[in-house]
Copies of this chain bind each other. A is one copy, B any other.
Amino acid sequence: MANTATNMRLKLPITCFILEIILIILFGVLVQYDNETDAKKWHGMTHGNHSDHQKDVEHKDYENDFYYRYPSFQDVHVMIFIGFGFLMTFLQRYGFGSVGFTFLIAALALQWATLMQGFFHGMHHGKIEIGVESMINADFCTGSVLISFGAVLGKTSPVQLLIMAVFEVTLFAVNEFILLSLLGTKDAGGSMTIHTFGAYFGLMVTRILYRPNLDKSKHRNSSVYHSDLFAMIGTLYLWMFWPSFNSAITAHGDDQHRTALNTYYSLAACTLATYGMSALTAHDGKLDMVHIQNAALAGGVAAGTAGEMMLTPFGSMIVGFLAGIISVLGFKYLSPILESKLKIQDTCGVHNLHGMPGVFGAIVGAVTASLATKDIYGEGMEDVFPLVYDEKVKRTAAYQGGIQAISLAVTLGIALVGGLIVGFILKLPIFGTPPDNLCFEDNIYWEVPGDEESHEGHLTTVRTEEIAMPEATEKLNS
Of B40, B100, B131, B276, the contact of A12 (CB 8 Å cutoff): B276
Q: Find chain B residues with CB under 8 A from A62 CB.
A: 62-63, 67-68, 252
Q: Find chain B residues with CB under 8 A from A429 CB.
A: none
Q: Which residue of B is nearest A260, CB measured?
A: B70
Q: How far is the CA of A456 from the CA of B457 in the complex (A)?
A: 12
Binds B, one of A89-97, A195-203, A418-426: A89-97
**Contact bitstring A276-291, B, C-beta under 8 A = 1, else 0:** 1101101111111100
Cβ of A236 < 8 Å from any Cβ of B?
A: yes
Q: Is the CB of A39 within 8 A of B383?
A: yes
In the assembled complex, the CB of A379 is this many whole angstroms from the nearest CB of chain B, namely 4
Q: Is the CB of B31 within 8 A of A380?
A: no
Q: Find chain B residues with CB under 8 A from A226 CB.
A: 95, 226, 230
Q: Find chain B residues with CB under 8 A from A334 CB.
A: none
Q: Find chain B residues with CB under 8 A from A446 CB.
A: 286-289
Binds B, one of A147-155, A262-270, A392-400: A262-270
Q: Is the CB of B285 within 8 A of A99?
A: no
Copies of this chain, whole number: 3
Cβ of A103 < 8 Å from any Cβ of B?
A: yes
Q: How far is the CA of A52 from the CA of B81 in the complex (A)?
A: 45
Given A37-B254, A62-B67, A258-B38, verify A280-B9 contact (CB < 8 Å).
yes
Q: Is the CB of A268 within 8 A of B111?
A: yes
Q: How far is the CA of A43 from the CA of B36 in the complex (A)?
A: 25
Q: Is the CB of A265 within 8 A of B27?
A: yes
**Contact bitstring A360-378, B, C-beta under 8 A = 1, else 0:** 0000000000000011111
Given A269-B23, A380-B42, verify A285-B7 contact (CB < 8 Å).
yes
Q: CB within 8 Å of B: which of A235-281?
A: 236-237, 239-241, 243-244, 252-258, 260-261, 264-265, 267-269, 271-273, 275-277, 279-280
Q: Is the CB of A110 within 8 A of B321?
A: no
In the assembled complex, the CB of A460 is this many whole angstroms from the nearest CB of chain B, namely 11
Q: Find chain B residues with CB under 8 A from A222 CB.
A: 449, 451
Given A276-B16, A280-B9, verify A296-B103 contact (CB < 8 Å).
yes
Q: Is the CB of B64 within 8 A of A67?
A: no
Residue picked from A2, A37, A96, A444, most chain B C-beta under 10 Å: A37
